[in-house]
Structure 1
Amino acid sequence: KFSLEKAKSKIDRFYALRTKYPEFFTIKDADDHKVRELLNTGMIVYLPTPLNEHGSRIALIRSGVYSAEKYTIEEIARTMYGIQEILMLEDDYAVVNGITTIVDVKQGTAAHLMQMSPSSLKKMTIFSEEALPFRPKNAHFIYIPSGFETFFNILKPMLSKKQQKRLSLHGNKLDGIYEHIPLKYLPKEYGGENGSIEECIVELNKKLDEYRDYFKANAQYGTNEKLRPGKPIDFDHLCGVQGSFRKLEVD
C-alpha cells in the first residue's frame, strides 16, 4: 500500500523464511520430480480469466487429488509457493487485485487433514501474510466431507483474525459460491467457462520451464541472521506453536 517500510519488511521476511525453511518455501530445481508430479495432479491451478474479467486472480486448490502417503506437506507447500512466486513476478491481477481461492476438499481424507500440523500451518500463514506481496481475498471451501468442519475449527485459531474472516465454508455443494464467484469463472470441470484444469496444468509446466534459470539462481540468495543489525529473528516465536494433533480422531 505504497509503504516503503512494509515493502522492505516483506522482502526481508521473504528471504529470511526461505533461508530458515527451504523445504517449505524454496524450489531449487524447476525439474524437481516431486514438484512436477504434484503440479500434474492439478492440486493447484490458476484460472486464465480473472474474476469479473479485471478483478482478482482465481486459484483452485484440490486437496485430495494427491496421495497423502507419497507427498509431504513440505513438498506440497514448496510446489504451491513456487507457482505463487511466478505470479508474484508477472501477474498484475494477482499482485494488485489479489487472489480469490476455491478449495475443493471433496476427495480429502483424514490423512490429508492430518498433514496440516499446527506448526506447518503457522509457517505457511506467516509466509503468506508477511513475505508475499499479494492481497489475499476470500477462500471458499466446497464439497466439504464429514469431519472437516471439526478439524477446521480446531486449526482456525492458528490463523490471524484477518485470515479467519476471509474463510467461507459452503457445505457439500458448489452453488453456494455463485454469489461470490459466478459460474462462468469456474473451470469447465465445474460447469464453467474459465479454461480446463488440464489446460492450466500445461501452462503451469510451461511457466516452470521458462523460470528454470531463475529458480536455480534465486536459490542461492538468503539471509544470515548472525549479520542482522540488532536482534536476530526469533523463528521459534514467529513460527512456533505448542502441541500436535496427530492423535486427533476424524470420522
Structure 2
Amino acid sequence: MPSIRVLDDALQRVAIEQLNEQPARLAADLEALRTWIKQQPHLRARTDDQFLVAFLRGCKHSLEKVKCKLDKFYTLRTQFPEFYTIRDVDSQRLHELLRLGVGLWLPQPLHGNGPRIIYVRTGCYAPDQYRFEEIMGLSHALSSLSLQYDDYAVVHGYVTLLDFSDYSAAHLLQMTPSVLKKMAVFAEQAMPVRDKGRHMIHTNAVFEKGFNLMKSVLPAKQRERISVHGSNLDSLYAHIPQQYLPSHLGGQQGSIEQLKQLNWQTFLERRDYLRAELNYGVDEQLRTGDKPIDYNSAFGVEGSFRLLNFD
C-alpha cells in the first residue's frame, strides 16, 4: 500500500471522478515514477509516495505529464533559486518578510471541502526594502509545502485573492515582464496544483495602468482565470462567499494578525522540510537525450513598466 494520507470520502470521490485516480493502480504508478527518476542521471528529486502522488493527481495520473512537470519543477528551481526557493530558512531577513504576511494561506478551504484560498496583500511590503524576487522565493517555497501537506490544494487546486490596498507605483515597477513570465511558466508548466481562479480587489489607478501590460505577458489560460472586482465585494462573494474571507473583509477566517501567526507557526513546524529542499535539483552536465529549455532566452530581458505615466 502507498504510504500516503487517506483522503476523506469527498476528496477521494473528486480524485477518482475528476483526476482519473484508480486507487488499485497507485502503488504501481508510484513505483514506475521512482524507477524513471532513478534512470535520470541529471535529476535529484524527492521520491516519497506523498510527494509523487501530488504530481500524479495534478497531472490527472498521466505518467508522461508527471515526468515533464517534475523535470521542469526541479530545472526552474535549480536555474533560478532566488525566485523559486528559500536558500536559508534561518535568515532573519526571511523571517521578517514572512512575518509581514504578504501571502496568507487561509485555514478553511472554499466551501469547507474545496480549493485552498490564498490571500495575497500585494501592497503590504516596502518595495524600497524588499525585492520582488524575495517575495516570490518565499511564496514558491511555501507553495511547495502544499504538495506534501495540503490535500485540498492537491485535489481541488487553489483560489487566489489579491488585495491591492496600498499598492503603489514602486510595487508595480518591480513587476518586470521577465518576472511575470517566471511566475506564469512555473504555475503552468511546473506546479501540479491547479489554479482555480484569481480574484483582484481594492484595485486602484496604479493597478489599472499596469494591468493590460501584465495580461499581455500571461498565457491565455491564465488570463481567463482573472476576475477584477475593484471595491465591489458583492461581486467577489459570488465566487468566494463572505464567510470564507478574513475577518476584516467580513469573513470568518480570522484576523490578519491571527493569519500571520498561523502561517508563521506552519513555517516553524515545516522548516526542516524546506531546509531539505536544497538537496534536490538538476545537474545539466549529466542530462542525456533532449537539451533542456533555455529559460533565460524564454524569459527574455528584464524590461520594466517605467514608461508608464503614474501622474
* TM-score under structure 2 length normalisation: 0.77
Which residue does 2:80 correspond to in 1?
A: 21
CA distance in 2, matches of 1:12, 1:37: 32
Counterparts of 1:59-98 in structure 2, within 5 Å, are: 59-98=118-157
> Does 2:224 align with 1:165?
yes
| 1:200-231 C-alpha deviation (Å, 9 max, x unpaired) | 21122122222222222211321122222221
CA distance in 2, matches of 1:132, 1:204: 21
Letter in 2 for 1:222: G
Which residue does 1:240 correspond to in 2?
A: 300
Which residue does 2:162 correspond to in 1?
A: 103
Query: 4+ residue runs of structure 1 moved beyond 4 angstroms?
Result: none
Which residue does 2:56 correspond to in 1?
A: none
* 8 Å contact from structure 2 (residues 172, 305) kept in 1: no
**Once structures 1 and 2 are overlaid, which stretch shifts more, 228-237 or 116-125?**
228-237
Which residue does 2:183 correspond to in 1?
A: 124
> Where do 5+ consecutive residues of structure 1 fail to align?
none
* Structure richer in helix, relative to its length: 2
* SS at 2:118 equivalent: strand
CA distance in 2, matches of 1:32, 1:131: 26
**1:203–1:242 Cα change, 3 Å:** closer
* 8 Å contact from structure 1 (residues 187, 195) kept in 2: yes
Q: 1:55 aligns with which of 89, 114, 119?
A: 114
| 1:24-74 C-alpha deviation (Å, 9 max, x unpaired) | 011122222232222211211011111111111111000111101100011
* SS at 2:268 equivalent: helix
**How big is the shift at 1:245?**
2.3
CA distance in 2, matches of 1:224, 1:240: 23
* SS at 1:29 equivalent: coil
Counterparts of 1:209-220 in structure 2, within 5 Å, are: 209-220=268-279
* 8 Å contact from structure 1 (residues 103, 141) kept in 2: yes
**How big is the shift at 1:243?**
4.2
Q: Which has the larger radius of gyration?
A: 2
**How big is the shift at 1:232?**
2.7
Letter in 2 for 1:237: S
Q: 2:192 aligns with which of 133, 141, 145?
A: 133
- The answer to which structure, 1 or 2, has the higher relative contact order (CA under 8 A, 6+ apart) is 1
Which residue does 2:309 correspond to in 1?
A: 249
State the percentage of identical aligned residues: 46
**1:3–1:169 Cα change, 3 Å:** same
CA distance in 2, matches of 1:146, 1:172: 12
* SS at 1:61 equivalent: strand
How many residue pairs match? The answer is 251
Q: 1:35 aligns with which of 79, 94, 106?
A: 94
CA distance in 1, matches of 2:272, 2:220: 38
Which residue does 1:175 correspond to in 2?
A: 234
* SS at 1:169 equivalent: strand
> Where do 5+ consecutive residues of structure 2 fail to align?
1-59
Letter in 1 for 2:165: K
Letter in 2 for 1:197: I
CA distance in 1, matches of 2:277, 2:114: 30
Letter in 2 for 1:246: R
Which residue does 2:291 correspond to in 1?
A: 231
